Structure 1
Amino acid sequence: MKDIDERDGVWISPDFAFLETEAGARIGLTRSERRALKLLTAHPNRLLSRDEILDAVSEPGSDKNDRNIDFLVNRLRRKLSDDARNPRYIATRYGEGYVWIGEAPIAQPAVAGADMVVSAVNGLDNLGDTRETGEGFARALPRAFEVAMGADRRVVYAPGCAGAAEFGAAAPALAAELSFFVDRGHISCVVAVRDFRSGRLIAARRQGFENAVPVRAAAERLARQLYRQVWRVTATMPVRDVPLPVGIYGSTMGESIPLREEAEASNRKMLALAETAELRSLATWQENEKRLRAMLAETPHDAEAKLLLAIAIHSKYVMGGQRLLVQGIDTRGKDEDDMEALVTEALPYVRDKPDHAIMAGKLLHFLRRGYDDLARDLCEEAYATSVSPAGSLAVIGQMRAFAGETDSALDAIEQALNLSPPGSHAHAYALVIKGQALAGAARWDDLKSVRKETYGVSPVLGLMLEPVFAHPGRESYRARAVMLLFSRARAEAQLRNLNYVCARLFRDPAQGANALRPFSGLFAGRFGTAAIPQEVRSAHPRLFAEIS
């Protein structure tokens, strides 16, 4: 028996990766085609505007043009052998959009690997004549959650699906359970989101249907509100045992590091992949900032949300600061003002939460505005009481490295690495911190193992760190090759950002200079010492006197 959904003589694979005709021919689908087909078939006999389809298929940061949707639909029609003038599947509504007119899906959607599954819809019998309202809301919720979650997430509607044991490692991450009831003539629905594997309740919200609110609008509003709760809990819950920046990033992007399969790609291709990843990281930051600012608009005195927003602003530079500088965007002064206000306002309320307090200390140190002693005390006090060892060890290791306590720093970081799942964001985070500590201490031979381990996590990340963690004067071929691939603007931006997020934070200027030494030497060899940006030159005059 084929593992496919059958619709009017054309089979669509559960993951929408291909079509199969009655004659047995398989026809592959592009990512945009998969997304468009998934959206259309999820809403049979409903008009979908070009803008709705465009939102479903667009990548973060891509150029949106609704005329592209016409070309996309034409491609789908060709693959479906569908005639626009006498359609079997996709009908055109001129000036409005498109409608899927084929049979509605009749088979269970693919639950394995989904980000969320609507696993239970209870109480529809309670609704009587208004049952259609409940069914419409339940059907609209998966798409509403996909929009709220963003980043190419997949939510499926599969009430009564099997439990976690049936899926093993491919179990969905989250489950949404709906319960309908009527009180004094008013319909209500409680939507509870649980961890699919453990059944642990993460968030719940009640939705009423008075005032004739369209079910789609109600689903979109509830999904936004509920997913903000889910995102916040999953980003900060202690059981994750990761530093808060990693939790925030992973809650939006997923837990694994992408691009491991590119080990055999050329240096040029991996550089292009790295630049794509930077754009994606910036899009993630924008999504996180928007979500957190929405939280603060609703609850302006929310201390945790203030701290999380400050962390997100800082993470923007760690993950993609060089991309901003290449684009001529430099809001560091304003961002530092915002971080300072957010952290100092939150501080009285987060000091008794070790995982929050240790990040507050890290951010105060990052500002370099006279908070260094307070920052160090905050971090050490929080570390002493933290119950999240892997997360706190990585942060305290970085803070001790900046203070010049290299051996103590490396001991903490090594333990953090041992506690982090191989290949995870937390693993990569700790590896980069270890490399910073070793570079600051000029332990160049020890950096070789860091470079090797980083390639094991992600070849793209390993390549981009080659010129950062190179042995000065004994740079690898790949380190020199990366610098040759960089434009001057890109290399300048990376040097400025490397100083901003790392080198300037060392207490000992000589260690800060060491952290810049590998990249600076390669930069000067490629573009000349006169090309060194003034802000970096003035921060480390001895280093550039030596290089010159």
Structure 2
Amino acid sequence: MGNTQYLHFGDLVLDETCLFARRDGRTIQFTRNERALLLAFFRNPRRLMRRSHLLDAISSSESDPSDRNIDFLVNRLRTKLGDNAKSPKFIATQYGEGYVWVAAPSSVAPTNGFLVIAPAFEPKLLSLDQQGSSMVGRVRDLITTGIGAEYKVLVRENWRPTMEDRLRYLLQLNFNADNGHLNCAATLREMPSKRIVRTYQLRTDATDAHSVTGEADRISDGIVDFLRQAIAAAVAGLGTPVDAPLETRLQQASTRLSASNSMWLANGERLRNGRQQDPANADTALQWCLHLFSRLVHTSPFKEMTHEERSGIESEIEATVLECLPDVEATPMLMLAAAKLLYFINRGHLDLAEDLAERAFARTSDFAAALPVLGQVRQARGDVEGAIIFFDRAIEMAEPGSQFLLHMQVLKCIALLAAGDRPGLEAATAFSLESPHCPPDIGLVIGMMLAPEDSKLPPRLAAALAQIGATGASHAVEMLYFTSARQLTLERARANVMRGLVTHAVRLHGRQAIPAFVLASTGLVIGAGDVGDGPQQIFSPGLDDNKKSQRVRRKSA
């Protein structure tokens, strides 16, 4: 290929010498005069090119050097480039005068995929281009079928990765021609390290379709076998059964990192024994930490958990996870578990949790288990749009009716609530919390959290909140704060998450239902009003709310 450069115009890739262009794996070839016109346009972008100037660019051997021939050539170029005279992207008509090249090379957006296939064709290969493109297409289709459509496989011709690209593997296919043979050197690299993990040499008789197909099948089989083993290794750990089919392991791995997974709570005794038998085993240690995590999030929200008990459990989680970090680097699932736990305990490890999650994600790409952790980290930093992208992608990948799907739907609702996006929240709550995957008491608290604070609770939720009394409501407020609000760095976001439950609890049970530290951390201010049907108000942080709270305080005084 030498130093040939390529210009990108959206999905069109054009050789700067104008010998050919490519789009969607197809080669577009130009005649000598079409090439001459393109070069004239390239050298004079955004400038009016009169027909006389364009005639000068055409070879003197042209049999019909007329303005009409220029119009014919321009129309032919438009057809090949996919252009339209009425809404031109490349060549605009200046009526009565000539033509203007209006297209500017696009800045290529970062590539995001599991595997990028990057074929490179030597210019002299044009005569065998159909066979080369056919081989690339077959390799892409076979790999996609072999590893599953959820793993994004892209084709990028004449492409080189940049620092901004996010991909797990790169398959480079360098084609050349030799006496009627189509040759290809294939190199599979693990990214971003660029470590070569597989190489192949292909040599086919370009006139024999079976030869081309056979070589495409051979390279695809080898790559699929390697990638499936790599994907399986990525979901190892946390008790995922090694003898289950890969698709089952992927689903179970995502579920095992779901906050709604009560399995860890039930397996406490087994994990305790495992820790005693092999205290140096990082996998067992992190499973034990997930059991401790479940004790914090799966006990009844209406029962008391003292701050000393919670702090003790979180201290054990912190110490165990930090001790395990050197031993989890080779196992993405364990990296994600460590990231999830460090994020949850909220002890200043957000940067570390993000680093672990990002690097695990880089090794798994579209593996769904990484998405909730990444979304929660984005949400904690105030990047709700970024969080929603991860949550929506996970929702798309989740099995209908699964535990993982419910977990992701709740996380998305919390993110929208934190952002104060009530219309978005209403659109996202089209699911039921009365699910076998959601403990009933926790479902009640989530429902109270999501219910609009400016209206009465639905009868079922109102009856539950009344039944637990002020003490039970206080415990529920504490649990919601520790599990869903304290990790958010923005005070307003914490206030938005807590306001609904705080408002409804105060309306029924008065100020004593709200722990003082929750008000201090969120900036929420309880306004005047009587318990029961009184219009007690909860003010948020911000200038207008501060003014309101000051007026309430003066009035109360």
TM-score, normalised by the number of residues in structure 2: 0.47
Q: Which protein has the larger Cα radius of gyration, Structure 1 or Structure 2? A: 2
TM-score, normalised by the number of residues in structure 1: 0.48
